[in-house]
Each structure stands twice: as structure tokens, then as C-alpha cells.
Amino acid sequence: MRAALAPLIICGLALSGAAQAQEQAGAAVFKTCQSCHSLDPVKAGMAGPHLAGLSGRVLGSAEGFDYSPAFKAAKAQGLTWERERLLGYLADPDAIVPGGWMSPPAGLNAADRAAVTDYLLGR
């Protein structure tokens, strides 16, 4: 019985290690975002909205942030942040929210976008 469980335990540990590495990679990428965004929902005065509780949140709905008309329209449509939408937004913000005010994050490759997306959606 123990021999049969060993591969499952090893696989679980490997997956846990991979998830931890992805978490660390996402946190590292997010540091470049912190000049405009915070994970603290009460931090005011940032150029962008806070990103706490992003998973499933309606676009343009962070309290206290003055959103572009494009984000206000997305909010009225009830669009929510989910993995594919955020990945697309980080690759090309205007393709997801035309007329939004965010510029594409410089220097992020697909792996960086995936890491920071998973990091933010897990907060």
C-alpha cells in the first residue's frame, strides 16, 4: 500500500513546488505593476485601481477609482475579470477594453503574463 502511495505523494509535492514557483514568479512580476497598482483596497492615490479581490470582480468596479468611460461601459455590461480576459488584457489592453487608459505592460512575455495573472486572481 505504501509503495502505491509513493508516486502520488511525489506528484503532489512536485505540483506543490510548481505552484509555489508560479506564485513567486507572479509576485516578482507584480513588483513592476506596483508603481500604478496596489493589492491594498484602501490605498488611495494610485494611477490605477487596486487589484485586491480581482477574480470574478466586475471590470471598473473598484471603489474610489475614477475609471475611463470604456471601463464604465464594461462595468455596465457586467464583464468580469477571469483568467483569459486578464491574460488578453495584459497582452493588449485596448483589444480587451478599447479606450481604457492602461498602456501595455512593457517587457512581459507570455510566461510573465501567466504568472502575474495567476498571482492576481489568487488574491
Q: What are the boundaries of each domain within the chain?
A: 2-121
CATH dotted code for 2-121? 1.10.760.10
Which pLDDT score is estimated for 116?
97
Measured between alpha carbons, how far is 38 from 58 in angstroms, rounded to an integer?
17
pTM of the model: 0.83
Per-block mean pLDDT, blocks of 10 residues, the chain (123 long): 52 59 93 96 93 97 96 98 98 97 93 97 93
